[in-house]
Amino acid sequence: MNLVNVNMLEKIKKEMNLALVVPMLILIILWIVIGIKNPRFIAFFSIKRIFIVTIPIMICAFGVGNIIRMGSIDLSIEGQVGFSSVLIAYLFSHGVNSWIIGVLITLIVAVLIGLINGLIYTKLRIPSFLSSLSWGYICLGFGNYIYKGQPIIITNMDFRNISLGSIFNLQITIIITIVVFCILFFLQRRTILGLYINTIGEKETLVKLNGINISRIKICSFAIAGFCYGLTGIILTSRLGSGMSNIGTMLLMNSIAAVIIGGTPMSGGSGSILGTLIGSFIITTLQTLVIIFRINPFYQDAIIGLVIILAILFSTKKGLLVIAK
Could you read off the pLDDT of 21-78 as tens digits, one per residue?
A: 888 888 888 888 888 888 877 776 677 888 999 999 999 999 999 999 998 999 999 9
Specify if 15 maps to a domain: yes
pLDDT at 318: 47
Q: CA nearest 290: which of 278, 281, 303?
A: 303
- What CA–CA distance (Å, rounded) separates 161 from 238? 7
- Residue 3: the pLDDT is 46
- The CATH number of residue 26's host domain is 1.10.3470
Going from the C-alpha of 48 to that of each of 61, 95, 129, 175, 323, the distances in angstroms are 19, 36, 34, 12, 34
**Domain that includes residue 68, residue range:** 6-316
- Asked if pLDDT for residue 231 goes beyond 70, the answer is yes
Inside any domain, residue 305: yes
Give the 3-state secondary structure of residue 197. Answer: helix
pLDDT tens for 123-165 read 998 889 999 999 999 999 999 988 887 888 898 899 999 998 8
* Distance between CA atoms of residues 42 and 48, nearest Å: 10
Query: Is residue 319's pLDDT more than 50?
Result: no
187 located within any domain: yes
* CA–CA gap between residue 16 and residue 1 (Å, rounded): 20
Confidence (pLDDT) at 150: 81
Which secondary-structure segment (H or E) carries 167? strand 166-167
Residue 117 within a domain: yes
Does the structure show a pLDDT above 60 at 323? no
Is the model's pLDDT at 198 over the cut of 90? no
Asked if the structure places residue 46 within a domain, the reply is yes
What is the rounded average pLDDT of the residues 82-94? 94
The reported pLDDT for the residue numbered 4 is 47
Using the predicted structure, report yes or no on whether residue 246 has a pLDDT greater than 70.
Answer: yes
Tell me the average pLDDT across 108-116: 97
Q: Is pLDDT of 14 > 70? A: no
Q: Which stretch of DSSP H or E encloses residue 109?
A: helix 99-123
Evaluate whether residue 1 is within a structural domain: no
**What global pTM score does this model have?**
0.89
Structural domain contains residue 324: no
